Amino acid sequence: MVKAKVTVEAEVRPTEDEGKVIQAISNVFEFKELKKEQRGSQTYLVAEGDEESLQKLRELLRRERILDAARKIMLSRKDERHVVFYLHKQAAYVGRVTFCQPTRESPLGPIAFYVETEDSRKLINWLAPRTVKGVPVDEL
């Protein structure tokens, strides 16, 4: 596994229960630290962790059998040292993984993942490896 610094953030809308937003984040990410940030009139929860913090997400991608879709999305949103992707907050709250765009697809806003790593492709290969008939190639 490649080393990574992961920052996850989600806006807490005025109509939302902050505890439910924390639960949504914790269902997909094992954070080491969580803080609340005020940005103008908006409140955000920001969680930080490392590559091990992505283990829950890795397991959910396998359980839900969406490795190929996840891989495609992550590869489209990477550069050499960074990967950025967004998860639907309401789906995460119920323990599901649904990728979305940064705006409009998640009515309450997405959970944003910002990953900084030495080798983004290697990280994606660990998180969402290529598959053959739905089975990760490293498990064949």
Burial of 83-103, coded b for 16+ CB within 10 Å and e otherwise, reads: bebbbbbebbbeebbbbbeee
Contact assessment for residue 18 and residue 26, using Cβ atoms and an 8 Å cutoff: no
Alpha helix segments (H runs only) across 14-109: 18-28, 55-63, 67-76, 89-93
Model-level pTM?
0.93
Domain boundaries, the chain: 4-129
Q: What are the pLDDT tens digits along the chain (140 aa)?
A: 799 999 999 999 999 999 999 999 999 999 988 999 999 999 999 999 999 999 999 999 999 999 999 999 999 999 999 999 999 999 999 999 999 999 888 888 999 999 999 999 999 999 999 988 777 877 65
The type of residue at 86 is Y
| Architecture (CATH level 2) of domain 4-129 | 2-Layer Sandwich (3.30)
Pairwise CA distance, residues 53 & 31, whole Å: 6
